[in-house]
Amino acid sequence: MSPVPVKAEQAEIPVTQTNSLPVYSQEEVTKHCSIEKGVWVTYKGGVYDITDFVTVHPGGDKILLAAGKALEPFWALYGVHEQEHVLEILSEYKVGILRAEDSKKDDIKSADPYSTDPTRHPALIVNSVKPFNAEPPPAILTDNYITPSDIFFKRNHLPVPHIDPKTYRLEIEGLPGGTVSLTLDDLKTLFPKRTLIATIQCAGNRRSEMNKVKQVKGLNWGIAAISNAKWSGAYLRDVLYHYGFSPEVAAKARHVQFEGLDVDVTGTPYGASIPINKAMSEEGDVLLAYKMNGEDLPADHGFPVRAIVPGVVGARNIKWLGKIVISEEESQSHWQQNDYKGFSPGTDWDTVDFKSAPAIQELPVQSAITNLADGSSIDRDMDKVTVKGYAWSGGGREVVRVDVSLDGGKTWHVAKLQSSEEIESSAPSPPPGRAWAWKLWEIEIPLPEGAQELEVVCKAVDSSYNTQPDSVAPIWNLRGVLTNAWHQVRVKVK
């Protein structure tokens, strides 16, 4: 797309730049706001025609949000752009200079929306700072059955919103009496307080293993984008029945949509939805949680209220919950429609059709080794090798067995599962189909004589006898989600 320069006389400014690029007014830049008209953006006084870059933008067509505008507020929101190579790419697309008075305008200045994010625990391994995404080191992940909130993995798409609990309102739409607006106090006092232990796992957990097969798009999570906490709040179904959910509503409703109070630069909130039967079933246990591990939800985990949808991918457990909509339709949010879906290893970014795949809800069975790192060594004088880890399955399917091998899967040993009862004497064993919490496991296996290297592998089996696939390549997908192959670490014997 060749630029149409605004003549300096027309722009009524002298051409003061030292290079020979033309000067454009903001008005001219604004006209280039679509693929058809060309996609122009400005950055620190430069004008860039990025039309040809749109199709290769790693973040997809979200880049079009900035079409005809300044990049600064968008880059402030997506901190991944603060890298030298990104500026290098941008520089290739420079077509002009922004008129001096236009580049001083307020909307170009970027107040950092992340400046009020909470401070985080120094032990966390940070995958991205803005937005903040981090996981605990595997070695400490399974030290506790209940993950302390400080080191519970954190997955934010946007800046953390700061919500005054006194003015907080949760809106519910789609019930016969019209929109309902609840205070935090209503939630705490009108409904019984329910407590459950549930594991949350991000769809991208273990993505780094997919990256080793072939590069995927997304944060390079290790094995700890998963954690387990005790959540308290009101059952979603108690609240919806209280405000008039009826057989007539049930006859039409198919989904419950959630909206967060965290918004992007266009004011669009993070959102997702879950099927109505999960939301309303007596066995679904969906919580509007206001406590995590016995305390108010921390800012990073959704203060003052979040949805806990046990057994379902983390992406649907909406934090900073602002709105619930009972609907015939799924959430139309980007994260429900164009993300968090699985595809064939043969599907690439040129052929992918997000409409063709269902949104991920229940996750498949998962396990990982936490006490031995890939490439680490153990002492050959030890007669036994201790292997520890976690195992969990989606949909409330209980993990019934974890198999561990020291020889890459040729011979297997059954690990000892730690149950919730052992850890939390107050927590009764969950009824069938409602095993929301992970199981920690451990095994000691005699060190094979003369072994120089061990290929330590684990795989879990759930109550439906689902088990994990043996390798990553056949489940590789372009977004790097649903990585649940046997977890394997190579350990040297020295």
* Catalytic (active-site) positions: 57, 81, 155, 202, 340
Closer Cβ to ligand MTE, 40 or 290, answer by number = 290
Residue with smaller CB distance to ligand MTE, 17 or 337: 337
Least Å from the CB of residue 141 to ligand MTE: 13
CB of 154 to ligand MTE, least distance (A): 4
Structure tokens at 188: 């705490």
* Chain residues that interact with ligand MTE, rule: CB under 6 A: 152-158, 200, 202, 260, 262, 270, 300-301, 314-315, 317-320
Whole-angstrom Cα distance, residue 419 to residue 12? 75
- Minimum CB separation of residue 258 from ligand MTE in Å reads 8
Rounded least distance, CB 455 to ligand MTE, Å = 30
For the CB of residue 333, give the shortest distance to ligand MTE in the complex, in Å.
10
CB of 477 to ligand MTE, least distance (A): 16
Pick the closer one to ligand MTE by CB: 301 or 439. 301
C-alpha to C-alpha distance for 206 and 484, rounded to whole angstroms? 8
